[in-house]
Structure 1
Amino acid sequence: MATTRSMRQLARKRLDERFAALRALPPPTRAAPRGGWIRTIREALGIPRHELGRRMGVGEKRVVQLERGEAEGKLTIESLARAAEALDCELVVALLPRRPLEQTVTDRRMQLAAAWLKSRALDTMAMENQAVSLDDLPSQLVREIEQQFPDERLWDPT
């Protein structure tokens, strides 16, 4: 089943709402502790490495490797999930866009439209001292730009 533009817009809106809640958290809250989550939680609970290893079905040496791997950003999600389970934790993994998804799509569409318009009418108008900014474009032209650059083509190499 093909995803329609309105379905993608709705998906972006819902995701942007969820991301807004995560963005509202102060950056230190979103960042992993210096030694990584496994070590920090294990130590806070007072669980020795050998006990965590027993719960995970691995040796203490492997727990050291897991903690080091997490702190270095080299641990697989599968390993992190196993450690989380052994620590009675829920694993939460997220990609948090730096700005709303809808804004990213709009900006990309306008970037493509600017290049397209520049290669056509705006160049001629500028030469005639009649330059127009994208902010001044009427809503009908914005709709035409959305049709000219649908979501499916926004990320094609230019």
Structure 2
Amino acid sequence: MRNKKKLLIEQLDQKLAEFKNAATVHVPQRGWVNTIRTTFNMTMDQLGAKLNMTKGAIQKVEEREATGQISINKLRNIGKALDMQFVYGFVPKDGTVENLVNIKAEKLARKIVLRTNQNMKLEDQGIGDEKINKTIEELASEIKREMKKSLWD
């Protein structure tokens, strides 16, 4: 039987695969609401009418979006008013969630093993590089399998 945590990671990676190209999308300087509204040649009054808001409120919405101070619900409502779907998500920098976990687990394992080996060296019990690397690999596998909370410290 597959490890439940590994299965959850694989399922999350499948869900995030749809966003793979999203990492290359850059938010316009004035924000999406302003960019879409002006591209549609829609006035603030027209968008405001669709959202039951004033022109001044739309201006504030555009300013807040451009500065990152707008709520997800507000963006979702604006998307509906524009007959568009609002999309929201997180995309791992290094390709997949599994890769992110692998990197974090290896880093944590390396830190633990090297610290332990340093203490052992002080007592003339240090181990060689080959054994260190094997120990790091084994500990990283254990950390991934157990998905230890310390992985995210």
TM-score bracket for the superposition, by shorter chain length = 0.7 to 0.9
Partner of 2:32: 37
Q: Please say if 1:6 is aligned against 2:3.
A: yes
Kindly report which structure 2 residues correspond to 1:7-156, keeping only aligned pairs within 5 A, or say none: 7-24=4-21, 27=24, 30-99=25-94, 100-120=96-116, 124=120, 131-133=128-130, 136-137=133-134, 142=138, 146=142, 150-155=146-151
Distance in 2 (alpha carbons) for counterparts of 1:61 and 1:54: 12
Q: Displacement, 1:62?
A: 0.3
Distance in 1 (alpha carbons) for counterparts of 2:131 and 2:101: 16
Q: Displacement, 1:36?
A: 1.1
Q: Secondary structure at the match of 1:35?
A: coil
Question: What value does the CA root-mean-square deviation take over the aligned residues?
Answer: 3.4
Q: Displacement, 1:14?
A: 3.1
Distance in 2 (alpha carbons) for counterparts of 1:16 and 1:135: 31
Distance in 1 (alpha carbons) for counterparts of 2:17 and 2:131: 28
Q: Secondary structure at the match of 1:137?
A: helix
Identity of aligned residues (%): 19
TM-score of the superposed pair, with normalisation by structure 1:
0.73
User: For structure 2, which runs of at least 5 residues remain unmatched after alignment?
Assistant: none
CA contact (8 A) 1:109 1:154 kept: no
Q: Displacement, 1:147?
A: 6.1
Distance in 2 (alpha carbons) for counterparts of 1:149 and 1:11: 12
User: For structure 1, which runs of at least 5 residues remain unmatched after alignment?
Assistant: none
Q: Displacement, 1:45?
A: 1.5
Q: Secondary structure at the match of 2:151?
A: coil
Q: Displacement, 1:117?
A: 2.4
Distance in 2 (alpha carbons) for counterparts of 1:123 and 1:20: 43
CA contact (8 A) 1:112 1:149 kept: no
CA contact (8 A) 1:122 1:131 kept: no
Matched to 2:6, the amino acid is Q
TM-score of the superposed pair, with normalisation by structure 2:
0.75
CA contact (8 A) 2:16 2:91 kept: yes
Runs of 4+ in 1 over 6 A off after TM superposition: none
Q: Displacement, 1:156?
A: 6.6
